[in-house]
Amino acid sequence: MGNHTKRDKAWTKNDKIFLGILIPVLALFFFFNTLPLLKGFYYGLTNYRGYGDYDFVGLRNFKDIFTDLRVGKSYLFTFKYAVVMTIAVNLISLILALGLNREIRGKSALRGIYFVPNILGGLVVGYIFSFIFTYILPTVGEITGIGFLQNSMLASTKTAWLAIVIVGAWQGIAMNTIIYISGLQTVPAEVYEAGMIDGVSGWKKFWNLTFPLILPFFTINLVLCMKNALMVFDQIMSLTKGGPSQSTESISYLIYQNGMSGGQFGFQSANAFVFFLVIVIISFLQMKFLGGKEEQL
Amino acid sequence: MKKKNREGAVGGKAINNVINVLLALGCLTILFPLYMTVIIAFKKPSEMTNDVAGALGFPANWNFDNFIEAMRVTDFWRSLGNSLFLTGVTVIICILLHSLAGYVIGRKMAKHKLFKASYFYIVSGMFVPFAVLMMPLVKQTAQIGMANRLGVIVLYVVFFMPMNVLLYSGYLKNIPIALEEAACVDGATVWQTYWKIIFPNMKPMHATVAVLTAMSTWNDVMTPLVIMSGSDVNTLPLAQLNFQSQFGTNYNLAFASYLLALLPILIFYIICQKQIINGVVNGAVK
- Which residues from chain B sit within 8 angstroms of residue A132, using beta carbons? 33, 36
The 10s digit of each residue's pLDDT in A235-293 is 999 999 988 889 999 999 999 999 988 889 999 999 999 999 999 999 888 878 776 55
* pLDDT for residue B189: 85
- Which residues from chain B sit within 8 angstroms of residue A35, using beta carbons? 136, 140
Contacts by A161-165 with C-beta closer than 8 Å and gap 24+? A161/A77, A161/A80, A161/A81, A161/A247, A161/A248, A163/A129, A163/A133, A163/A239, A163/A240, A164/A81, A164/A232, A164/A235, A164/A236, A164/A239, A164/A240, A164/A248, A165/A81, A165/A84, A165/A85, A165/A88
- Which residues from chain B sit within 8 angstroms of residue A224, using beta carbons? 284
Statement: residue A4 has pLDDT above 60 = no
The 10s digit of each residue's pLDDT in A23-53 is 999 999 999 999 999 999 999 999 998 888 8
- Which residues from chain A sit within 8 angstroms of residue B108, using beta carbons? 15, 18
Q: How far apart are CA A75 and CA A28, in angstroms?
A: 32
Query: Contact B226/A256, CB-based, under 8 Å?
Result: yes
Query: Contact B101/A9, CB-based, under 8 Å?
Result: no
Query: Contact A217/B285, CB-based, under 8 Å?
Result: yes
- Band of residue A295 on the pLDDT scale cut at 50, 70, 90: very low
* pLDDT for residue A8: 63
Tell me the shortest Cα–Cα distance from B132 to chain A, in angstroms. Answer: 5
Q: Is A67 or B59 the better-scoring residue by pLDDT?
A: A67
Query: Contact B284/A175, CB-based, under 8 Å?
Result: yes
Least confident of A54-63, B44-53, B190-199, B267-276: B44-53
If you count residue pairs, one on A and one on B, with CB atoms under 8 Å apart, how many are there?
Answer: 253
Q: Look at chain A and count its residues.
A: 297
- Which residues from chain A sit within 8 angstroms of residue B273, using beta carbons? 112, 115
- What's the whole-number average pLDDT of chain B? 87
Query: Contact A29/B136, CB-based, under 8 Å?
Result: no
- Which residues from chain B sit within 8 angstroms of residue A105, using beta carbons? 20
The 10s digit of each residue's pLDDT in B136-159 is 999 999 999 999 999 999 999 999
Query: Contact A21/B104, CB-based, under 8 Å?
Result: yes
The 10s digit of each residue's pLDDT in B227-278 is 998 777 889 999 988 887 776 678 888 899 999 999 999 999 999 888 888 8
* Torsions phi, psi for A145 (to 5 deg): 75, 15
- Which residues from chain B sit within 8 angstroms of residue A251, using beta carbons? 131
Statement: residue B8 has pLDDT above 50 = no
Of A29, A50, A117, the CB nearest to B161: A29
**What is the crossing angle of helices B130-143 and A35-44, to 10°?**
100
Percent of chain B with pLDDT over 70: 93
Which residue from B225, B245, B240, B269 is spatially nearest to B71, judged by alpha carbons?
Answer: B240
Cβ atoms of residues A168 and B77 within 8 Å: no
Cβ atoms of residues A153 and A141 within 8 Å: no
Q: Provide the ipTM.
A: 0.88
Query: Contact B222/A233, CB-based, under 8 Å?
Result: yes
The 10s digit of each residue's pLDDT in A165-216 is 999 999 999 999 999 999 998 888 777 777 777 776 677 778 878 888 888 8
* pLDDT for residue A135: 86
Query: Contact A32/B129, CB-based, under 8 Å?
Result: no
* pLDDT for residue A231: 92
User: Scanning every residue of chain A, which has its alpha carbon at the shortest distance from the alpha carbon of B48?
Assistant: A135
**Mutation for testing the B interface, residue in A17, A46, A119 having most B CBs under 10 Å:** A119
- Band of residue B11 on the pLDDT scale cut at 50, 70, 90: low
Q: How far apart are CA A162 and CA A85, in angstroms?
A: 10
**Greatest C-alpha distance within chain B:** 78
How many angstroms separate the first and last alpha carbons of chain A? 28
User: Scanning every residue of chain A, which has its alpha carbon at the shortest distance from the alpha carbon of B107?
Assistant: A18
Q: Which residues contact B281 (CB under 8 A, 6 or more apart)?
A: A178, A179, A182
Q: How far apart are CA B261 and CA B72, in angstroms?
A: 13
Q: Flag whether the pTM goes above 0.80.
A: yes
Tell me the shortest Cα–Cα distance from B282 to chain A, in angstroms. Answer: 9
In this structure, the dihedral spanned by the alpha carbons of residues B13, B18, B23 and B25, taken in order and rounded to 10 degrees, is 150
Of B30, B33, B221, the CB nearest to A114: B30
Least confident of A142-156, B114-128, B199-213: A142-156
The 10s digit of each residue's pLDDT in B66-82 is 899 889 988 899 999 99
Residues A92-114, mean pLDDT to the nearest whole number: 90
Taking phi over 0 as left and psi of -120 to 50 as alpha, with beta for the rest, A250 belongs to beta
- Which residues from chain A sit within 8 angstroms of residue B133, using beta carbons? 33, 36-37, 40, 272
Query: Contact A178/B258, CB-based, under 8 Å?
Result: no
Q: How far apart are CA A121 and CA B237, in angstroms?
A: 8
